[in-house]
Structure 1
Amino acid sequence: MMIISTTTIIAGAVVVLLAVLGSLINPFLRSLRFQKTETAENQPPVSILITAHDNLAELERNLPMFLRQQYAADYQVIVVCQSTDGETQDFLKRTAENPHLYYTYIPESSRYMSRKKLQITLGVKAAKHEWIILTEPNCRPSNDKWLQTMVRQCQDPNHLVLGYVALDEETKSVRRFDSIRKAYYVLRRAQQTYGYRSHMPNVAFRKSDFMKEQGYQGNLEYVRGEYDFLVNKYAHYGETATELDCDAWLIREAPSNKSWHNAHLYLQASRKSLERAGSMRTLMFFDHLMPHLSLIATLAVAAYSILMKNWILTGCAGFSFLLLFIVRMLIANKAIRHFDDGIAMFKLPFFEYGIIWRNLATKLRYWRADKNDFTSHKL
Structure 2
Amino acid sequence: MLAILAFCLLVQLYYVLFVHLKLANATVEEVPFIGRKPVSVIVCARNEIKNLNEYLPSLMTQNYPDYEVVVVNDRSWDGTEEFLEQMEERYSNLKVVKILDNDKFLAGKKFAVTMGIKAAKHDWLVFTDADCTPASAQWLMDMQQPADENVEIVLGYSPYIKRPGLLNALIRFETFFTAVNYLSFALKGMPYMGVGRNMAYKKALFFKNKGFAAHMHIPSGDDDLFVNAHANRSNTEIRINMESHVWSEPNRTWGGYLKQKKRHFGAGKMYKAKHKFILSLQIIFQFLFYGFFVASMFLGREAQYIAGGIFLLSLIIKSFIYPKLLKRLNYGDLRWWFPILDILLFLFLMLNGFLAMFGKKKVNWK
TM-score range with shorter-chain normalisation?
A: 0.7 to 0.9
Instruction: Give the C-alpha shift of residue 286 in structure 1.
Output: 3.8
Aligned-pair identity in percent equals 21
Distance 2:116 2:308 in 1: 58
Contact residue 54 and residue 88 of structure 1 kept, 8 A: yes
> Compared with structure 1, are the counterparts of its residues 292 and 124 closer, same or farther at alpha carbon in structure 2 (3 Å cutoff)?
closer
More deviation in 140-149 or 317-326? 317-326
Per the alignment, residue 327 of structure 1 pairs with 317
| Structure 1: runs of 5+ lacking an equivalent | 1-10
Equivalent position SS for 1:343: helix
Report the residue type matching 2:132 in the other structure: C
More deviation in 87-96 or 358-367? 358-367
Per the alignment, residue 269 of structure 2 pairs with 272
Distance 2:68 2:120 in 1: 8
Per the alignment, residue 104 of structure 1 pairs with 97
Task: Show the 5 A alignment for 1:286-325.
Answer: 286-290=281-285, 293-306=288-301, 315-325=305-315
Q: Are 1:156 and 2:149 counterparts?
A: yes
Q: TM (normalized to structure 2)? A: 0.86
Distance 1:63 1:341 in 2: 24
Instruction: Give the C-alpha shift of residue 266 in structure 1.
Output: 1.4
Distance 2:289 2:211 in 1: 45
Per the alignment, residue 83 of structure 2 pairs with 91
> Compared with structure 1, are the counterparts of its residues 290 and 18 closer, same or farther at alpha carbon in structure 2 (3 Å cutoff)?
same
Per the alignment, residue 246 of structure 1 pairs with 242
Distance 2:312 2:52 in 1: 48
> Compared with structure 1, are the counterparts of its residues 26 and 270 closer, same or farther at alpha carbon in structure 2 (3 Å cutoff)?
closer
Per the alignment, residue 7 of structure 1 pairs with none
Contact residue 155 and residue 195 of structure 2 kept, 8 A: no
Contact residue 326 and residue 332 of structure 2 kept, 8 A: no
Distance 2:71 2:15 in 1: 40
Instruction: Give the C-alpha shift of residue 334 in structure 1.
Output: 2.4
Question: Once the two structures are superposed, what CA deviation does each residue of 1:270-320 show, in whole Å capped at 9, x if it has no partner?
Answer: 32223x2x33333334434555545555555554333xxx5xx55444433
Per the alignment, residue 204 of structure 2 pairs with 208
Contact residue 35 and residue 144 of structure 2 kept, 8 A: no
Q: Are 1:263 and 2:260 counterparts?
A: yes
> Compared with structure 1, are the counterparts of its residues 29 and 224 closer, same or farther at alpha carbon in structure 2 (3 Å cutoff)?
closer
Q: TM (normalized to structure 1)? A: 0.83
1:193 corresponds, among 176, 189, 192, to: 189
More deviation in 285-294 or 135-144? 285-294
> Compared with structure 1, are the counterparts of its residues 197 and 105 closer, same or farther at alpha carbon in structure 2 (3 Å cutoff)?
same
Larger C-alpha radius of gyration, 1 or 2? 1
Q: Are 1:24 and 2:16 counterparts?
A: no
Contact residue 134 and residue 245 of structure 2 kept, 8 A: yes
Contact residue 40 and residue 68 of structure 2 kept, 8 A: yes
> Compared with structure 1, are the counterparts of its residues 108 and 325 closer, same or farther at alpha carbon in structure 2 (3 Å cutoff)?
same
Equivalent position SS for 2:144: helix
2:169 corresponds, among 170, 173, 176, to: 173
Equivalent position SS for 1:166: coil
Task: Show the 5 A alignment for 1:27-42.
Answer: 27=16, 29-32=20-23, 33-37=26-30, 39=32, 41=34
Report the residue type matching 1:283 in the other structure: I
| Structure 2: runs of 5+ lacking an equivalent | none
Distance 2:247 2:177 in 1: 17
Contact residue 40 and residue 120 of structure 2 kept, 8 A: yes
1:352 corresponds, among 342, 345, 358, to: 342
Instruction: Give the C-alpha shift of residue 58 in structure 1.
Output: 0.4
Question: Once the two structures are superposed, what CA deviation does each residue of 1:349-379 show, in whole Å capped at 9, x if it has no partner?
Answer: 222233442222222322222224469xxxx
Report the residue type matching 1:280 in the other structure: H
2:279 corresponds, among 264, 284, 292, to: 284
More deviation in 352-361 or 236-245? 352-361
